[in-house]
Amino acid sequence: MADETRPADVDVQTVRRGSAQTRVTIVSTGARGRAFVLVAGIGVAASYFEFLAPLLAEHGDVYALDLPGFAGMPASGDEPTARFFADQVEGVIAHYRLENPVLVGHSMGTQVVVEVLARRDDLSHAVLVSPVVDEDEASAFVQAVRFVQSTARESLHIAVMAVSAYLLCGFLYFAEVLPHMLRYRISDRIRHVDARLLLIRGEFDRPSPRRLHSRLVARARDVRRWEIEGAAHSIVNGHAVGVARLVRHHLDDDLAARGRLSAAEARVPPARHADVRMVLDAASSRIAEWISAVRHDQDGVERAKVRHARLLWRAYVSRR
């Protein structure tokens, strides 16, 4: 992890587009590089990027999104298609007047990112982490099996984050979004993307198999393909160091067309200053964020996110 003199600044805002609302968590260290827009997968929250966001923020401001219906944000009543969610991402880009931001999507978020990119020719780089869905396995049952297989290799920390996020999303909205995710043909839409793409998957990422990546590489105009050893589907969290490293080299156009990164190079290292109190404080801040999201208390969400970011900085970076 980086050795910063102070934790990144965290600001939480809401961007409205018609009847839809998107929560935007802005992470900034003052770096003046290109902005990053992070889009998470079905049902989950921007908190999944708790390690990746500050790493990317060393190079430019990060805008991590909680799309309508996710992470306690109200559903708008619109049909929750990739096109609808792409509209919200474009709304965020326009609201903050971001010039050529780097879009980073994870899981279903890759569908949203591809949909944005297929519409625009002014975005030069993007990253698709664990893209879904393999069109040969586009059924709810098979995808459920694949996610269970991948989850077996995830940490308890990831499992708790996922469950809390799905509870916020709610079963009914999740069930409404799922058929659209299963029907979206990312391998067809990627043909229309002009941006230079980086595909990343974990070695044990069953929902995002190698054959899907091969299909995407064959159909994309400009693409690199990398794999991280030992990682599963939630690669943006437990292996955020590797993802951030690959993103940086991708933007510098200093990355081979294909490669593998070792788990040792990619995994988030143990905290420098971890004790029972730090663990309890971190859990407390996440619970406070969850409760605030349930109550639609955006100020409470921001306070909890700021507290959590400071706790992570003290645990991983502070010299004490």
Instruction: Give the DSSP letter string of 225-262.
Output: EEEETT--S-HHHHTHHHHHHHHHHHHTT-S-SEEEE-
Tokens coding 132: 């879904």
Yes or no: say if 155 and 47 are a contact pair by the CB < 8 Å rule: no
Per-residue pLDDT at 47 = 92
Strand ranges (DSSP E) for 29-71?
A: 36-39, 62-66
Range in 39-43, 147-151, 234-238 with the lowest mean pLDDT? 147-151
Task: Please determine, for residue 239, whether its predicted confidence score (pLDDT) is greater than 70.
Answer: yes
Mean pLDDT on 229-251 = 96
Determine whether 31 is exposed, middle or buried from the number of CB atoms within 10 Å of its CB (0-12, 13-18, 19+): middle
- So what's the architecture of 9-270 in CATH? 3-Layer(aba) Sandwich (3.40)
Per-residue pLDDT at 315 = 80
Task: Please determine, for residue 2, whether its predicted confidence score (pLDDT) is greater than 60.
Answer: no
Per-residue pLDDT at 1 = 52
pLDDT bucket at 224, cuts 50 / 70 / 90: very high
- Residues 88, 112: Cα–Cα separation, whole Å: 10
- Residues 105, 107: Cα–Cα separation, whole Å: 7
Tell me if residue 17 falls in helix, strand or coil.
strand
Domain ranges of the chain: 9-270
Q: How many CB atoms lie within 10 A of CB 236?
A: 31
Per-residue pLDDT at 6 = 67
Task: Please determine, for residue 4, whether its predicted confidence score (pLDDT) is greater than 70.
Answer: no
Task: Please determine, for residue 219, whether its predicted confidence score (pLDDT) is greater than 80.
Answer: yes
Per-residue pLDDT at 242 = 97
200-232 b/e (C-beta count within 10 Å ≥ 16 → b): bbbbbbbbbbeebbebbbebbeebbbbbbbbbb
pTM for the whole structure: 0.94
pLDDT in tens, 248-283: 999 999 999 999 999 999 999 887 877 788 888 888
| Average pLDDT, rounded, for the chain | 92
| Dihedral angle, C-alpha 230, 236, 237, 243, nearest 10 ° | 70
Task: Please determine, for residue 103, whether its predicted confidence score (pLDDT) is greater than 70.
Answer: yes
Tokens coding 210: 């190698």
Task: Please determine, for residue 317, whether its predicted confidence score (pLDDT) is greater than 80.
Answer: no
| Dihedral angle, C-alpha 122, 33, 125, 225, nearest 10 ° | 180
Yes or no: say if 315 and 296 are a contact pair by the CB < 8 Å rule: no
Angle at 241 (CA atoms; ends 144, 245), nearest 5 degrees: 110
